[in-house]
Amino acid sequence: MNTSTLAYLYGLGAVLLWSTVATAFKLALNHYSPLQLVFVAVCTSIVTLILILAYQGKLTLLPKQFKSRPLFYLQTGLLNPFLYYLALFQAYALLPAQQALSLNYTWAILLPLLAAPLLKQSLRGTDLLAALIGYLGVLVIATSGNILALNFANPLGVGLALASTLFWCLYWIINTKDKGDAIVSLLLSFIISLPFITITLLATDTLPTLKWQALAAGIYVGLFEMGITFVLWLMALKSATRTANISTLAFLTPLLSMCFIAVILKEAITAATLIGMALILTALVIQKLFKPRREITKTAKN
């Protein structure tokens, strides 16, 4: 099997798994609070990434990378998984899955807007056009299509979904300065975040239930949102002869996600969601067609 075919298989595997997680979030949140779900998923992901690094023979890199930049990994760990997933899961708890999914996809629109001042990159006209179209889509979704009335059905949920995109973008912008192994860096971020997650959980919530239905849902999120799928995506990008070809596969994720949401969660996909998502995807296509900013997006989740 040539590397190009292998890259597509890895990429399609990652896209398919990521397409299921919006549904998995809602199912897991039937059993757990958002903070409890973060705790279970992060613990699962830590174990998974340790096993992957052990298989790759890279566990010895953990202390070396941490000692080289401890404050760097403290920053990344607080942003992702702690703040990012806490905001995202709370948004999913408050909003229909279709809305939270669509709003979360605007991270790719926000990324170049933040990169301009923080990384001293030029802001292109197409970035501004994409932002205008994309956030128009956000407005359509947030108001359930009633834009003129500006009647937000759940402003807190919308705000948290958009806050999660800010945390995600800041995480990836900081990661542009990381020269270490990507999987090792991800594991270090998760390990460092765990004490903060645990202390917050003990102070404000209760320990998560160990009932098998709840635990299975939480473990699924940890495996296929945070752990294995990220590794598959990295392998796809590393195997690809042209990164742009693989990154285009990410456009399948929201479409497949909507199918899972409709079939498994029985959510009726509204016209406002479809129009809003269409506007957001149009904005992303504009970014792809007009000189994509590969420097900061080539390894980011899509």
Domain residues for the domain of 168 are 3-297
Q: Is residue 76 included in any domain, yes or no?
A: yes
Q: Is residue 236 included in any domain, yes or no?
A: yes
Q: How far is CA 207 from CA 31, 45, 220, in A?
A: 12, 18, 18
Cβ neighbours of residue 72 closer than 8 Å, sequence gap 6 or more: 174, 177, 178
Query: pLDDT: is 147 or 200 the higher one?
Result: 200
Would you say 87 and 163 are in contact if contact means Cβ atoms under 8 Å apart? yes
Q: Is residue 302 included in any domain, yes or no?
A: no
Of 127, 32, 138, 132, nearest to 85 by C-alpha is 32
Q: Is residue 213 included in any domain, yes or no?
A: yes
Q: What is the pTM of this model?
A: 0.89
Per the structure, how many domains does the chain have?
A: 1
My answer on whether omega of the bond before 81 falls inside 30° of 0, hence cis, is: yes
Of 168, 104, 111, 138, nearest to 292 by C-alpha is 111
Q: Is residue 14 included in any domain, yes or no?
A: yes
Letter for the amino acid at 289? L
Q: Is residue 38 included in any domain, yes or no?
A: yes
- What string of H, E and C letters represents the secondary structure of 198-211? HHHHHHHCCCCCCC
What percent of the chain is modeled with pLDDT above 70?
92
CB atoms within 10 A of CB 286: 17
Arithmetic mean of pLDDT over the chain: 88
- Residue pLDDT, tens place only, 153-162: 789 999 999 9
- Residue pLDDT, tens place only, 209-248: 999 999 999 999 999 998 888 888 888 877 766 666 667 7
Q: Is residue 205 included in any domain, yes or no?
A: yes
- CA Rg value for the chain: 19
Q: Is residue 256 included in any domain, yes or no?
A: yes
Q: Is the pLDDT of residue 272 over 60?
A: yes
